[in-house]
Structure 1
Amino acid sequence: MENSKPDEPDKRTAIHCDGVTLDEALSLIRFGKFNYLLIAIAGMIHTAVLMETIGISFVIAVAECDLRMSTQQKGILGAIAYVGIIVSSHLWGFLADTRGRRKVIVPTLFLASTITLVSSFMSSFWAITVCRFLTGFFISGASATVYPYLGEFHSNKTRSRAILGASFVYGFGCLLLPTLPFLVMNQPWDLPIPLLGIVYRPWRLFLAICGLPGFVSAVALLKFPESPKFVFSRGNTEHAIDIIHQIQCMNSNNKEQIPRLNGIIDDLEIQQSKIHLAEMNNSNGFHALMKLVWKQTAPLFMEPYMGRTVIMCFLQFGMFLTAHGMYVFFPGILNQMLEAQEAGVNRTTTCDLIMSRGYSTRGDTAHQQGCSQTLNITTYELTFILEAIHTVGFAVIGLIINTVGKLLIMEIVFVCCGISGIMVIFVDIPLLAIWLYMILMMGGLSACVTNTITVDLFPTNLRAMAVSISLMFGRLGSVTGANMLGLLLDSQCQLTFGIAGSLMLVCGVIAFFIPNIHKKVNASE
């Protein structure tokens, strides 16, 4: 000690910690480079999910001629990726809880981006629909698993902020949604490919680009380890300690004393996970595997978890129906309203305009003679503003959530969105109606809070499955919203906005019943 230099600590020196739980061990780690990089990747993964599911909205608005789509078919194409997500959510949740978070995220991202590239070369509506279904099937693995994966690298006191940080990155990623189609789709070029029987237009290139964020995220995640909490719950204590040490080394840049754990003690959550692992290892054959899947799922619909599962699923359903389902037709409706304004129509409700002009109820050649391969520039500008508001909103929520609490944030979002959705029916000033429509779709601002709550409400051995099932109901809301507009937009337009707005208000009431929702986290914790 006498010969040591305080300003040059020995890198080999270790601080030995005994008798700590995994959460306590994670709380000892300095928040640094590893955490920020992982947060950025998690945000990019959710950007990939957004591009793969919502990016098709811009394609639908301009690909009507090439794919010969009716309004109902547009609803199907806009929703089919969510169908793939719904079908596979249970599978990926089970595999993530039993095989590993990272082992699900990486391959599913690679597969989804590959299929997206292939779909850009499809020549018919049904062919591209099948590809979009498969894209949704695989992107679901990353969508449902990334929150548990990110959260399990953080202690209880930093987990919410990490997830909200990823949502903030996702908010910046949202800006790609209007920016990329503006840069790509409004170009005049086309490239005939006789071998495939298609003309490769800008909307096809944009569709292919939608797969890039997922591919980049998968490559980046190859350098990151499995979740330490998952590894420890599998009984591999030494590997979990190695992962924690790896985080410490990256965060300290090997310049400081690095605490080295001698061991980790089990808490109640980890003990339950190890019991579940023992049951899994004793399962042989298909019947036993299905029984295990059931045992993995059934606790979510039994006490003490049933109430919270139902609440979170309902909230996800309502948010996705408005934020994603209503978005599928947004670029096309917005473009139609802007064209009407340019034609001198200054006083009309959104629904009167849609029903008088017809959003596009036929896929026949006569109708397609008037369809366009480009969108009004203001359509991109207003969509960009919408996504910019999401970005700022995620940042503000991340800063104030521990101060004001999750409930107040959710109530403000739900009530504002609900009232705006209902007002769209009656407002006869097109520009104001456009803004109200945009506010209706901002229900997604509460999604980051809802996912944070879901991660906190369930133990490790049920967490990924809980997120998967709640998101499955969210995607069901997206399918319902997109097809609701496809079926009713031309004939019962007022009803569609009334349902969406009312559902947001109901979500505001349901949020009061979330367990421990009134509890705030002290910033000093």
Structure 2
Amino acid sequence: MDDSIERIPEPKPITYQRSVSFDEALSMTKFGKINYILIIISGTILTSVLLETLGISYVIPVAECDLLLTTKEKGVLSAVAFAGIIASSHLWGFLADTLGRKKVIVPTLILTFTATVISSFTTSFWIITILRFFAGFFISGSSATIYAYLGEFHNKRDGSRAIMGASFVFGMGCLLLPGIAFSVINQEWEYAIPFMNIIYRPWRLFLVVCGLPSLVCAFVLLKFPESPRFVLNQGDVDKTIETIQWMHTLNTNGREAKLRISSIRDEVEAQQTKFRRSESSDTKGITALMKLMWNQTAPLFMTPYLNNTVIVCILQFGIYLTSNGMYMFFPDILNRVAEIQESGLNRTTICNAVYTTQVNIRMLETNLSQTIPECNQKLDIMAYEHSFILELLYALGFAVIGLIINAVGKLPILVYVFVSCGLSAILIIFIDIPLLSVWLYLILLTCGFCISVVNAVTVDLFPTTLRAMAICISLMFGRLGSVVGANMVGLLLDTQCELTFWISGVSLILCGMLSFFIPNIYKRSTSEPRASVSSR
């Protein structure tokens, strides 16, 4: 009788019988815990880049006697990290697009921390210069690749907001930099290490503190999978579905049934990836590596991507020319303005203050051999105050841009920031009210807002197979702008001060005009859905 009882068949799991697109699959994961953690980690990695490149500016004044630095050597030490970034940008872009985003980000973060820690124990200018070069060399791998990694965990609707969210975290991290420097460097202690023949002072500890975010982010990312879009383009659909299911489970805290996706449609760019891999499969060794690098880079400078590449590279160059180039001399110029005000002259332009104080600087340089240099182990509080105000502006600006970028689009943001900053640079030349000039200078330096917006544009303009390389190359041109800008200001400031501000102002306004020529910028700025608070 038991045999006659019909067994009730078990219910089959619900599956999506149709083939879903990758963007649809990401939309099914919801926006939750994983997305927020990735945004925070990405912003922290971007902060690490700032700490490794600009944090040294807090160290140089107080490490002068420990490292026996001359003025020329200070300039070299200030720029050497950017040289490392420029030298490695192409390599990391290639490796990220061929080996994977995570396989580049995690090792380079660990290597950056290692180089930074070792540099804190050096007593030789040349050794610390080499180590700072390698710190920039390695941090370049994660600084550009993280944009592609973050964007590829989000659908088209949320990608730009996620990048701007990471930029907001970056802004908050920058806001903490002056406070960290003040709390660490301005301590009064020292510890002798006889077997290394060094005296460990607060500035050395500050270098280690600047490297800690890199190490922490590396360990956190070990728990995360490779970019699902990259994995899909490599042809591993099953692993892509597994990653998407993992995201959905954690984002919903397991309250919803497991996603059942039968397949994800193979995209055109995935087919392009397979084609490029097959092209070089018949060669081995160095020849294959060089051919792969050529295949990965050449499309960016050919149709249909040449126009996109040229535009984003020019924009990044123009932004960094001012945001970093003019920033390197920001404290020095403010000190000169303060010196003029202390002398009783309250109506003067910034450039007149530079010219007036230059006479005193030359007198000090002439009599340098007759004086005993004083080793300052602390920085003046004014340096921290001005840096704090600038970073506060960045934090607030990134927050506002992140909230409005979907509503107003990228083009209005780019044009507004470029033009307002450019006009501020030109007004500085004529304004003879020092306090107003200083605020205009601060506004000028906020052109760095556009860096993340242009990166978001780059993510939209290039396919997954070329995205990391495109961002790396565009940022390489940006860092080149930093080097050109810093040297330009150093060459012209004392004799042609007005020209430095004219160059910065006009170049930013031209960048604003160039923004109108970004392909499909009008379509993206009007068709993207409005960002909602609940979706975040």
- The two structures have a TM-score, normalised by structure 2, of 0.90
The residue number in structure 1 matching 2:529 is 523
Aligned to 2:260, the other structure's residue is in SS state strand
- Worse overlay, 73-82 or 312-321: 73-82
The residue number in structure 1 matching 2:405 is 401
The residue number in structure 1 matching 2:238 is 238
**Equivalent in 497, 500, 513 of residue 493 of structure 1:** 497
Preserved contact between residue 15 and residue 258 of structure 1 (Cα < 8 Å)? no
Compared CA separation, residues 17 and 249, structure 1 to 2 (3 A): farther
CA distance in 1 between counterparts of 2:504 and 2:366 reads 25
The residue number in structure 2 matching 1:315 is 315
User: Does residue 1:293 correspond to 2:267, yes or no?
Assistant: no
The residue number in structure 1 matching 2:215 is 215
- The CA deviation at 1:88 is 0.5
**C-alpha deviations, 1:169-203, integer Å up to 9, x for none?**
11111112211112122223333445444433322
**C-alpha deviations, 1:461-490, integer Å up to 9, x for none?**
111110010010011111112222333434
CA distance in 2 between counterparts of 1:237 and 1:505 reads 46
- The CA deviation at 1:167 is 0.9
Preserved contact between residue 322 and residue 482 of structure 2 (Cα < 8 Å)? yes
- Worse overlay, 89-98 or 476-485: 476-485
CA distance in 2 between counterparts of 1:20 and 1:29 reads 13
The residue number in structure 2 matching 1:9 is none
Kindly provide the amino acid, as one letter, of the partner of residue 45 in structure 1. Answer: I
- The CA deviation at 1:131 is 1.2
- Worse overlay, 358-367 or 345-354: 358-367
Preserved contact between residue 276 and residue 295 of structure 2 (Cα < 8 Å)? no
CA distance in 1 between counterparts of 2:491 and 2:252 reads 57
User: Does residue 1:416 correspond to 2:420, yes or no?
Assistant: yes
- The CA deviation at 1:418 is 1.3
- The CA deviation at 1:366 is 5.2
The share of aligned pairs that are identical, in percent, is 57
Preserved contact between residue 62 and residue 379 of structure 2 (Cα < 8 Å)? yes
The residue number in structure 2 matching 1:48 is 48
**C-alpha deviations, 1:352-404, integer Å up to 9, x for none?**
43323439979966577256433332321221111111111111111111222
Aligned to 2:430, the other structure's residue is in SS state coil
The residue number in structure 2 matching 1:346 is 346
Aligned ranges for residues 83-482 of structure 1 at < 5 Å? 83-342=83-342, 344-354=344-354, 355-358=358-361, 369=373, 372-482=376-486
The residue number in structure 1 matching 2:9 is none
**C-alpha deviations, 1:244-287, integer Å up to 9, x for none?**
11101111111112222111111222222222233344441212
Compared CA separation, residues 361 and 133, structure 1 to 2 (3 A): farther
Kindly provide the amino acid, as one letter, of the partner of residue 358 in structure 1. Answer: I
Kindly provide the amino acid, as one letter, of the partner of residue 86 in structure 1. Answer: I
- The CA deviation at 1:300 is 0.5
CA distance in 1 between counterparts of 2:401 and 2:367 reads 43
Preserved contact between residue 178 and residue 383 of structure 1 (Cα < 8 Å)? yes
CA distance in 2 between counterparts of 1:66 and 1:144 reads 34
Kindly provide the amino acid, as one letter, of the partner of residue 160 in structure 1. Answer: S
Kindly provide the amino acid, as one letter, of the partner of residue 111 in structure 1. Answer: L
Compared CA separation, residues 72 and 421, structure 1 to 2 (3 A): farther
Kindly provide the amino acid, as one letter, of the partner of residue 21 in structure 1. Answer: S
Compared CA separation, residues 260 and 191, structure 1 to 2 (3 A): same
Compared CA separation, residues 161 and 335, structure 1 to 2 (3 A): same
- The CA deviation at 1:58 is 1.8
Preserved contact between residue 123 and residue 196 of structure 1 (Cα < 8 Å)? no
CA distance in 1 between counterparts of 2:436 and 2:394 reads 19
Preserved contact between residue 13 and residue 260 of structure 2 (Cα < 8 Å)? no
Preserved contact between residue 120 and residue 205 of structure 2 (Cα < 8 Å)? yes
> Based on CA coordinates, which of the two structures has the bigger radius of gyration?
2
CA distance in 2 between counterparts of 1:54 and 1:495 reads 25
Preserved contact between residue 235 and residue 270 of structure 2 (Cα < 8 Å)? no
Kindly provide the amino acid, as one letter, of the partner of residue 400 in structure 1. Answer: I
Aligned to 1:329, the other structure's residue is in SS state helix
CA distance in 2 between counterparts of 1:363 and 1:201 reads 29
Preserved contact between residue 407 and residue 530 of structure 2 (Cα < 8 Å)? no
Compared CA separation, residues 196 and 485, structure 1 to 2 (3 A): farther
Aligned to 1:199, the other structure's residue is in SS state strand
- The two structures have a TM-score, normalised by structure 1, of 0.92
- Worse overlay, 346-355 or 438-447: 346-355
CA distance in 2 between counterparts of 1:293 and 1:363 reads 54
CA distance in 2 between counterparts of 1:258 and 1:429 reads 64
Kindly provide the amino acid, as one letter, of the partner of residue 239 in structure 1. Answer: K
CA distance in 2 between counterparts of 1:100 and 1:84 reads 22
RMSD: 2.4
In structure 1, runs of 5+ residues without a counterpart are: 1-11
In structure 2, runs of 5+ residues without a counterpart are: 1-11, 532-536
CA distance in 2 between counterparts of 1:422 and 1:409 reads 20
Compared CA separation, residues 409 and 367, structure 1 to 2 (3 A): farther
CA distance in 1 between counterparts of 2:368 and 2:222 reads 48
Compared CA separation, residues 404 and 523, structure 1 to 2 (3 A): same
**C-alpha deviations, 1:412-436, integer Å up to 9, x for none?**
1111211222333333333222222
- The CA deviation at 1:344 is 4.2
- The CA deviation at 1:342 is 4.4
CA distance in 2 between counterparts of 1:489 and 1:193 reads 42
- Worse overlay, 213-222 or 477-486: 477-486
Compared CA separation, residues 248 and 126, structure 1 to 2 (3 A): same
- The CA deviation at 1:503 is 1.6
